[in-house]
Structure 1
């Protein structure tokens, strides 16, 4: 199956948007990063869908803030931080193998460090 670049970015954007929408209702899935990623994909694939996304009254403001200021609202950042810690903690508890637990711990620390470097608004 042959995909063009636009079709590829559209497909990835749809997946990111769906994951972001699921994250609205499922607290373990972060909404804002998926929406930002979906927006970046749709900028390449469909300017019309990108415009709809950034103008959406609920989904648009975090995307616009990221694009304009490279910041995330402090309340969203706090919720995401808690969800990252809880989801990795649960994954570490459930993981059956010690090296997987260690890998998850290293990934969690790396992700939390990176996430803490993003400025808050």
Structure 2
């Protein structure tokens, strides 16, 4: 079972790395999942992730207080605005824009109501 958890954790880290470059793929949720999986499979991988210079502080903020740093909130907002703007620019059908607006609005409400890290 440990190998399954470790494999899922590594898969989540890979998705997070791809998410750094693609605004449609979230980075931090995959890192949080990876931390969850690594905690159940490998203390070495878990420690590597939570002590990582870039990602570790965000994970620890979330684990300790459910907090999201203001810079991450701003980056998420810019990404969401860019995705929605691109969708409008390429003339996505109105029903898709409405669905995007509702879902992305909910995501933004969740992010901005979290405490600051």
Deviation at 1:63, TM superposition (A): 1.0
Deviation at 1:94, TM superposition (A): 3.8
Partner of 1:85 in structure 2? 81
Partner of 2:109 in structure 1? 113
Change (3 A) 1:95 1:15: farther
Gaps of 5+ in 1: none
3-state secondary structure, aligned to 1:45: coil
Deviations 1:36-57 (A, max 9, x none): 2221222223332111111222
> For 1:5 and 1:94, how far apart are their aligned partners in 2?
45
Change (3 A) 1:77 1:27: farther
The partner residue of 1:47 within 36, 43, 47 is 43
Partner of 2:19 in structure 1? 23
Q: TM-score by structure 2 length?
A: 0.78
3-state secondary structure, aligned to 2:19: helix
> For 1:19 and 1:63, how far apart are their aligned partners in 2?
16
How big is the alpha-carbon RMSD for the aligned residues of Structure 1 and Structure 2? 2.4
Alignment pair present for 1:12 and 2:12: no
User: How many residues matched?
Assistant: 116
Moved runs in structure 1, 4+ residues, more than 4 A? Answer: none
Spell out the pairing of 1:58-69 with structure 2 (5 A cutoff).
58-69=54-65
